[in-house]
Structure 1
Amino acid sequence: MKELHTGNLYWPVTLGDTREYEPLRQNKKTQVAVIGGGMSGSVCSLIFTRSGLSTIMLERGKVAGGSTSANTGLLQFSNDIMLCDLIDQIGERDAQTFYKACKDAVNMLAITADSLSLDVGFKRRSSLYYASSEQQLPKLKKEYEALKACGLDVEFWSPEEIMSHFPFRKSGAIVTHGDAEVNPYQFVNGVASAAADAGLQIHEQTNIVAHDTLPSGLHRLRTADGFEIEAEHVVYAVGYEPEELRGKLVKADLNRSYALVTGVQPNLQSWHERFLIWETARPYLYMRTTVDGRVVVGGLDEEIEQPLHSGKARHKRSEKLLEQLQALFPELQAPIEFEWNATFGESRDGLPFVGADPAWKNVYYCLGYGGNGTVYSMIAAHLLRDLIRGDSHPLTDIVKLDRKSLASI
């Protein structure tokens, strides 16, 4: 099992008791088998189930036990790849279609969160995307014009406007309206529970070790304990590509990133409307607040796949992140209470991998590479549902595994 994170995670301590699901202990048949019980698997399973598809979700560990716990919960329609760059890469029509889909996905996440019986800390927020240096200001203005031309709700703030809202000065910033934040651990547990109540069958501690196609075209999944599931369709929602795909279809890089959560801040008045904050530099610093008044800070990405095991080295990065926070907000003095290091993936064209296996009928992938994984999960849920039902979806060719934008990479 791939090690996804090390350190002291914050989100799991915000939810006491979690619902448990029995391991698979008998052979079963279903329309759709979803492999993976994290953000993408749970969201896909909920949408499938609510759409009338008989679905079983199989998780080799615990629901929300993998990357979900290290997710920092920023939900934005802007992506790691700027819209203006995506236009150059895949054309204006497709790039705008993708960005609009991200905005719609944030709205669908809001509707989903509101439908849950569990409070998952979902709050609508705006974002401040500032120029890290004067040299990056022209590119930021170009991005603002692209977002505005796409019909997205954005403003451009001058240094004076930034200073009138925050205790720091930057050469310029885009303010995007329509973003959000969530407690990812609570959200995934809430989504899985709601899906189970709607008819989804969930099996934790169920490791799939074999996947064969029968002469009938059905797929047979076998667990490590020897039980089998026959499914018409199989969705791999495992965060990153299955080992059998490595290097064949998915062109991506696995890196590691750092995050911390402070203690409760006694005073957040200078943090205008609790905006989500990030910057143009790459790798970028990003931060948000929590419903109980803490601050989440992330960044310092490194091109190394394995999480850092040295607690001393990890804390050194956390102290650097805290210094960057306090450079922007000098009055925030609550100490670090949680810190972790996690593996994350970036596709080489800045888009997620969602769609059908081009060589394996009725096998699909929901691999949400990049910093916008939760948003991509909601997009994937609807796209894959449409593919399974034989319907079309406007993003199919844009995010499929063998898309044209990967040909030259």
Structure 2
Amino acid sequence: MKELYTGHLYWPGTMGDSLEQPALNQNISVEVAVIGGGMSGSICSHVLVQSGLSVALLERGEIAGGSTSANTGMLQFCNDVMLCDLIDQIGHKDAVAFYRACKEAVDMIDSTVNQLAVDVGFKRRSSLYYASSEQDLPKLKKEYEALHHNGFDVEFWDGDKIAKHFPFRKSGAIVTHGDAAINPYRFVSTLARHAVDAGLQAYEHTDIVDHRTLENGVHLLRSADGYEVEAKHVIYAIGYEPEELRGKLIKASLNRSFAIVTGVQQSLADWHQHFLIWETARPYLYMRTDDHNRVIVGGLDEEIEQPLHDAQKQQKHSEKLYDQMRSLFPMLEAPVEYEWNATFGESRDNLPFIGEDPAWPNVFYCLGYGGNGSIYSMIAAHLLRDQIKGISNDLSKVVALDRKSLSRV
């Protein structure tokens, strides 16, 4: 099993009783088998069960125990690739459709949360996307025009307006409305429980070690313990472990990112409406607050796949993130209480991999590469549901594994 993070995680400690499911201990037959119990697998399973399909969720560890535990829980419709750049990359129609799908995904998560009996820390938020330098300002204004022209709820703030609302000044920023923040661990754990109540068969500690297709087209999965799952459709929702996939993904890379969570701050009065904050620099700093007046800060991405094990180096990264936070909010004094680093994936065209394996019928991938993995998971759940049910969806070609944009990067 690939190691996805190291350090002291914050989210698992916020959950009381967790969903505990048995390991697969008998042979079963379902319409859809979902491999992976993180954000992608849980949302897919929930949407598919709600659509009337029989579904088995197969997780070799614990549900929500992988990358979900290291997710910072920022839900934004804007992406690592600006809309204006995505228009140049894949065309105006498809780029705007993708951004609108991201916006709709935030709303769908909102609707899903309302079905749950447990508070998962979901709060609607706006975002401040500021220019890291004066040189970034023209591009930021171009991005604002692209968003505004295509109907997204955005504002452009100059330096004076930023300084009026925050204890720092930047040359300019886009404010996007309609984003959100969430406790990803509580969300995935609770969502999986809700799906089980609705009929999902969920199995933890079930490692799928073999996958073959029978002559009749049915897929046969075998666990390490020797039990078998027959399924008409199989969805791989296993996060950042592409080397395990039969359909070799191309032009994707794995990197690592760092995050800290502070202690409870005495006051966040100077943090305007608890905006989510990020910047134009790459790699970028990003920050949010939580329900307990803690601050979550992430960034310092490195082009190294393996999580960092050196405690002193981890501390240096944590101190740098903390200093960057205090350069914007000097009144925040509560120290770092949690720190970790984690693997994350990026595709070279900045889009996720969602869809059917071009060489393997009825085998699908739900891989949310990029900074918007949680948003991509919701998009994927509905796209894959449509594909399984034979419903046409124009967005499918934009995120397909064999999409044309991959050949141009």
TM range (shorter): over 0.9
Q: CA deviation at 1:50?
A: 0.3
Distance 1:199 1:247 in 2: 30
Structure 2 gap ranges (5+): none
Letter in 2 for 1:271: W
Contact 2:131 2:140 in 1 (8 A): yes
Distance 1:9 1:150 in 2: 39
Contact 1:241 1:250 in 2 (8 A): no
Specify the alignment match of 1:41 in structure 2.
41
Matched, 1:80 2:68: no
Q: CA deviation at 1:241?
A: 4.5
Secondary structure of 1:99's counterpart equals helix
Letter in 2 for 1:407: S
Distance 1:26 1:245 in 2: 25
Q: How does 1:1-400 map to 2 (within 5 A)?
A: 1-245=1-245, 248-400=248-400
Contact 1:237 1:366 in 2 (8 A): yes
Q: CA deviation at 1:16?
A: 2.0
Q: CA deviation at 1:245?
A: 3.9
Distance 1:245 1:49 in 2: 24
Distance 1:318 1:180 in 2: 25
Q: Name the CA shift for 1:192/1:301 in 2 (closer, same or farther; >3 Å).
A: same
Contact 1:250 1:353 in 2 (8 A): no
Q: CA deviation at 1:247?
A: 8.7
Contact 2:59 2:203 in 1 (8 A): yes
Bigger mean CA offset, 248-257 vs 148-157: 248-257
Q: CA deviation at 1:303?
A: 0.3
Distance 2:297 2:130 in 1: 16
Taking structure 2 as the reference length, what is the TM-score of the superposition? 0.99
Distance 1:322 1:167 in 2: 16
Q: Name the CA shift for 1:247/1:198 in 2 (closer, same or farther; >3 Å).
A: closer
Taking structure 1 as the reference length, what is the TM-score of the superposition? 0.99
Deviations 1:110-147 (A, max 9, x none): 01111111110000000000000000000000000000
Distance 2:246 2:387 in 1: 23
Deviations 1:50-99 (A, max 9, x none): 00010000000000000000000000000000000000000011000000
Q: CA deviation at 1:394?
A: 2.2
Distance 1:151 1:192 in 2: 34
Letter in 2 for 1:136: D
Q: Name the CA shift for 1:307/1:244 in 2 (closer, same or farther; >3 Å).
A: closer
Contact 1:233 1:388 in 2 (8 A): yes
Contact 1:165 1:270 in 2 (8 A): yes
Letter in 2 for 1:394: D
Sequence identity (%): 68
Q: CA deviation at 1:246?
A: 7.8
Distance 2:241 2:79 in 1: 21
Contact 2:240 2:343 in 1 (8 A): no
Distance 2:148 2:108 in 1: 22
Give the length in aligned residue pairs.
409
Contact 2:242 2:248 in 1 (8 A): no
Distance 2:298 2:249 in 1: 30
Q: CA deviation at 1:150?
A: 1.5
Q: CA deviation at 1:249?
A: 2.9
Distance 2:26 2:286 in 1: 46
Letter in 1 for 2:255: N
Secondary structure of 2:129's counterpart equals strand
Secondary structure of 1:345's counterpart equals strand
Q: CA deviation at 1:248?
A: 3.1
Distance 2:216 2:385 in 1: 22
Secondary structure of 1:283's counterpart equals coil
Letter in 2 for 1:270: D
Deviations 1:243-269 (A, max 9, x none): 244893332110000000000000100
Distance 1:268 1:248 in 2: 47
Letter in 2 for 1:323: D
Letter in 2 for 1:198: A
Contact 2:257 2:301 in 1 (8 A): yes
Secondary structure of 1:270's counterpart equals coil
Secondary structure of 1:398's counterpart equals helix
Letter in 2 for 1:232: K
Contact 1:147 1:154 in 2 (8 A): yes
Distance 2:244 2:16 in 1: 37
Q: CA deviation at 1:408?
A: 2.6
Distance 1:351 1:335 in 2: 36
Letter in 1 for 2:298: G
Deviations 1:156-188 (A, max 9, x none): 000000000000000000000000000000000
Secondary structure of 1:407's counterpart equals helix
Contact 1:241 1:367 in 2 (8 A): no
Q: Name the CA shift for 1:242/1:222 in 2 (closer, same or farther; >3 Å).
A: farther
Contact 2:21 2:202 in 1 (8 A): yes
Letter in 2 for 1:143: E
Q: Name the CA shift for 1:227/1:246 in 2 (closer, same or farther; >3 Å).
A: closer
